[in-house]
Homo-oligomer: A and B are copies of this chain.
């Protein structure tokens, strides 16, 4: 086998551990005599067509390890989705630089990019090994038990809701927080792991796998508020009505779409504000507050699951090993074995590309407004063994003198 050069890039929304995968590719590739040069493309496929490459062969191992601990795509990312003409520009660059292996770290849109590139390479006879390395906080890749990036984002959501629940207990009222997840409710559902004591929030959890009805929502909130004098609610940004129209866009005058046709849901507090307004006006509850976790939930420096870090590294190591020895393109996937351990497989790209996995029905309570114990069991080991825990006073009441 002639020595080859490899190219690695990062696509889609950043995560807390996407640079673990980058470090994994580079450090694993260095072990192989058959790989003579390791290039990185700046801002995903866009960097390839623009011939905007960096030479990762010249990175120190110490700095790669430091970058691995840093959230967000160190190479830069893109939302570009290549068509045939775009692919041909990609091959022009790959050919000019003698690239024989392409690794793309990304979600389902990025895996579709790898599929298109791999198909075009095969069709046009360009010799290329193309491997997709999974990452997405949405946890929505087919064939994966879970995806790198999700556990750390879930950990942020759990820690945020644990704190918000305590805040809400201290100053009672209704608190609504909107969590990322366009079609899959995994990240919103993670909020449920913030419940330690029986009356802890989130008391209600709404995911996009179920139709959102405003009347049911308001009845749910009213019931919890009457029972506890307060209510903490987790809502996915992707909740929608029976027609599939996002609640977030019902009041929007114009909607913004990305290159993949996705409507912009993040980066605005409109959905939280809309729900708060409904609770105030329809239920007459005075103290109603809404937060939108926004970009912080995927990028916060210093909130990461150690399980997620290790797995994000391993999927990349596996990707390089498959590229060297398996003789086929594909997408590395995480499978759960035992409780808790994982194994990795190489899936065909078509099994993942542009498909969306949603929550199993068994993860959502029949009421449609919370998760099941099965979901808690699924998520708990992913968060890591070092999750902070809230504690309560147990001091008994002082007997009233005045009555």
A74 at the interface (CB under 8 A from B): yes
What are 20 residue pairs bridging A and B, where the CB atoms are less than 8 Å apart in the complex?
Answer: A43-B170, A51-B403, A53-B398, A54-B395, A54-B396, A54-B397, A55-B397, A63-B393, A67-B393, A69-B391, A70-B166, A71-B166, A72-B169, A73-B171, A74-B392, A162-B301, A267-B276, A269-B270, A270-B273, A301-B390
A163-B300, A395-B58, A401-B51 known; A290-B268 Cβ under 8 A: yes
- Cα–Cα distance between A72 and B398 once the two chains are bound (Å): 22
Smallest CB gap from A60: residue in B: B394
- Cα–Cα distance between A291 and B266 once the two chains are bound (Å): 9
Name the prevailing secondary structure of the A interface residues.
Answer: loop
- Cα–Cα distance between A175 and B267 once the two chains are bound (Å): 8
- Determine the chain B residues whose CB is within 8 A of the CB of A169 once the complex forms: 72, 76
Which of these binds chain B: A92-100, A123-131, A181-189, A319-327?
A: A92-100
Instruction: Give a binary string over A157-196; 1 marks a CB under 8 Å from any B CB, 0 the rest.
Output: 0011011101101110001010000000000000000100
Q: How far is the CB of A193 from chain B (nearest CB, A)?
A: 11
Q: How far is the CB of A230 from chain B (nearest CB, A)?
A: 11
- Determine the chain B residues whose CB is within 8 A of the CB of A66 once the complex forms: 389, 391
- Cα–Cα distance between A388 and B59 once the two chains are bound (Å): 21
A136 at the interface (CB under 8 A from B): no
Tell me whether A299 and B163 are in contact (CB under 8 A): yes
- Cα–Cα distance between A396 and B159 once the two chains are bound (Å): 38
- Cα–Cα distance between A395 and B390 once the two chains are bound (Å): 42
